[in-house]
Amino acid sequence: MAEQLLYEGKAKKVFATDEEGVLVHRYKDAATAFNAQKRGSWKDKGRTNATVSSTIFAYLEAHGVLTHFVEQVDEAAIKTRKLEMLPIEVVVRNIAAGSLAKRLGYEEGTKLKAPIVELCYKDDDLGDPMVNWYHFRELGVSDEDLEFCEELGLKVNEILTPFFDERGVTLVDFKIEVGRDDDGRLMLADEISPDTCRFWDKETGEKLDKDRFRRDMGGLVEAYTEVARRLGIMNEMENVATKGPKLVQ
Ligand code: 5GP
């Protein structure tokens, strides 16, 4: 399969393929935080995130969520549908942490009365600010698209909260993105992984996500690997995620 580099992002490279409307996302071991002011990388991050994200996308597809996921190509790469991305980051929260804890003055770990959805304008130069529907209308985003984003965020949360709970992980919050295909269909895109979610061990509260990098806590390989292990996609012998989603049920 011929692959032509279209775009290199902070954590992945995106390639065109010779299949019409299909891209390959190749996950890197690199990590950034705080709008790329902090940089790092660790072993097997790309492979683990690609496999965790594939597993979650396949699970969501099996539960009625349309996504860009086509198939996992190898341990670090995923075939996706080519989409026109909305300039939106949809954040859904079950427990106060990170910027919400600061915004509301809540102690981190406070359970929210109901899930909170936030829409952020995806723009690195601006630091992805949270904005409201009026701002998005000004930016040319339709109300229908905003409604889709909020409903999708809540639906993904409804499916993934029990999925992780059964695997001993609390889904604290997460970020998703949405894109539109050539037929005008909106769908879930980007990735769902320890880079884009807060995962806390249900028993101990231990952080199993990118906050360990953001907050210099160490134990990154172990935390990301543990998420893969909880999803049952870990090859214990090699200590890396194995190829392919296996969890659709
Ligand atoms: P917060 O707003 O508290 O920093 O983040 C809320 C949730 O969304 C966290 O799970 C965080 O990982 C995710 N998130 C928000 N913005 C981004 C982003 O630009 N990149 C990534 N990887 N995750 C984000």
What atom of ligand 1 comes closest to residue 130's alpha carbon?
2
pLDDT-flagged residues of the chain (< 70) = 1-2, 235-249
Is the CB–ligand 1 distance for residue 174 below 6 Å? yes
Residues 115/159, Cβ–Cβ less than 8 Å: no
Instruction: Count CB-CB contacts under 10 A for residue 185.
Output: 11
Is the CB–ligand 1 distance for residue 92 below 6 Å? no
Is the CB–ligand 1 distance for residue 99 below 6 Å? yes
Instruction: Count CB-CB contacts under 10 A for residue 109.
Output: 13
Is the CB–ligand 1 distance for residue 98 below 6 Å? yes
Mean pLDDT over each residue of the chain, to the nearest integer: 94
What atom of ligand 1 comes closest to residue 98's alpha carbon?
3
Q: Is 84 left (phi over 0), alpha (psi -120 to 50) or beta?
A: beta
What atom of ligand 1 comes closest to residue 91's alpha carbon?
8
* CA atoms of 60 and 84, how far apart (whole Å): 21
Is the CB–ligand 1 distance for residue 91 below 6 Å? yes
Is the CB–ligand 1 distance for residue 23 below 6 Å? no
What residues contact 24, with CB distance under 8 A and at least 6 apart? Answer: 1, 3, 14, 15, 17, 73, 77, 78, 79, 80
Residue 234: predicted pLDDT: 75
What atom of ligand 1 comes closest to residue 99's alpha carbon?
3
Task: Give strand pairing partners of 220.
Answer: none
61-112: pLDDT as tens digits: 999 999 999 999 999 999 999 999 999 999 999 999 999 999 999 999 999 9
Is the CB–ligand 1 distance for residue 198 below 6 Å? yes
Separation of CA 53 and ligand 1 centre (Å): 15
Separation of CA 65 and ligand 1 centre (Å): 21
Is the CB–ligand 1 distance for residue 212 below 6 Å? no
Residue that has been written with the tokens 């639906």 in this structure:
155
Is the CB–ligand 1 distance for residue 197 below 6 Å? yes
What atom of ligand 1 comes closest to residue 128's alpha carbon?
19
Residue whose CA is at the smallest distance from ligand 1 atom 19: 128
Residue 247: predicted pLDDT: 46
Rg (CA), the chain: 17
Is the CB–ligand 1 distance for residue 192 below 6 Å? no
Task: Give strand pairing partners of 174.
Answer: 92, 197
Note the helical H segments in the chain. 45-62, 98-104, 133-138, 143-165, 211-214, 220-230
